[in-house]
């Protein structure tokens, strides 16, 4: 009887530990480096497309757990953050920390004539530093095809999310 209990206990622990040990990843809105509000919708479109593409690579989330976008929005809303406030960026990181995230993915975009320059980075939440190995930098697309950068971004950053 005692051996069965020990075996059952070991199986329960073995099932729980990997789930607890998994990285928690947040995909944040991309920063609009031009600060032209007519492009602010791109911030969320890029983040949403990136979230879906990452989730499609590991649908069962065996390698890590993606924090749902609505959880991120709620954390930001709880602190009543205003995106037009100059302090928004630092306050947003405070909100993300409340979600026990281990890594955050965030990018930025900037218009250069009729093209869009897109960069994407993985941030380690303990150090707040960007990973220098797994990043997607200097991706150019047209203003109507900027979402085509999502596939190359995932290819470059995915190994750093594990």
What integer pLDDT is reported at residue 1 of this predicted model? 56
What integer pLDDT is reported at residue 37 of this predicted model? 87
| pLDDT single digits (tens) 116-155 | 999 999 999 999 999 999 999 999 999 999 999 999 999 9
| pLDDT single digits (tens) 6-41 | 433 433 343 444 445 589 999 999 999 988 889 989
What integer pLDDT is reported at residue 14 of this predicted model? 38
Contact 162, 64 (CB under 8 A): yes
Residues 6+ apart with CB under 8 A from 141: 115, 116, 118, 147, 148, 149
As a whole number, mean pLDDT of residues 47-67 equals 95
What integer pLDDT is reported at residue 36 of this predicted model? 87
| pLDDT single digits (tens) 72-98 | 999 988 888 777 777 888 888 889 999
SS3 5: helix
Q: What is this structure's pTM? A: 0.83
Which class for 107: exposed (0-12), middle (13-18), buried (19 or more C-beta within 10 A)?
Answer: buried
């Amino acid at each position: 009887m005692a051996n069965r209990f020990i075996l059952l206990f070991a199986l329960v622990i073995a099932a729980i530990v990997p789930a607890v040990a998994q990285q928690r990843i947040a995909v944040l809105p991309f920063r609009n480096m031009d600060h032209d509000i007519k492009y602010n919708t791109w911030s969320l479109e890029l983040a949403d497309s990136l979230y879906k593409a990452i989730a499609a690579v590991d649908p069962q989330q065996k390698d890590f757990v993606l924090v749902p976008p609505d959880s991120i929005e709620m954390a930001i809303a709880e602190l009543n953050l205003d995106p037009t406030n100059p302090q928004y960026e630092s306050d947003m990181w405070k909100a993300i920390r409340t979600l026990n995230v281990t890594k955050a993915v965030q990018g930025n975009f900037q218009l250069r004539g009729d093209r869009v320059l897109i960069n994407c980075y993985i941030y380690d939440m303990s150090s707040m530093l960007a990973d220098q190995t797994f990043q997607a930098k200097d991706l150019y697309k047209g203003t109507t095809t900027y979402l085509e950068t999502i596939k190359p971004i995932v290819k470059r950053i995915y190994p750093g999310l594990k």
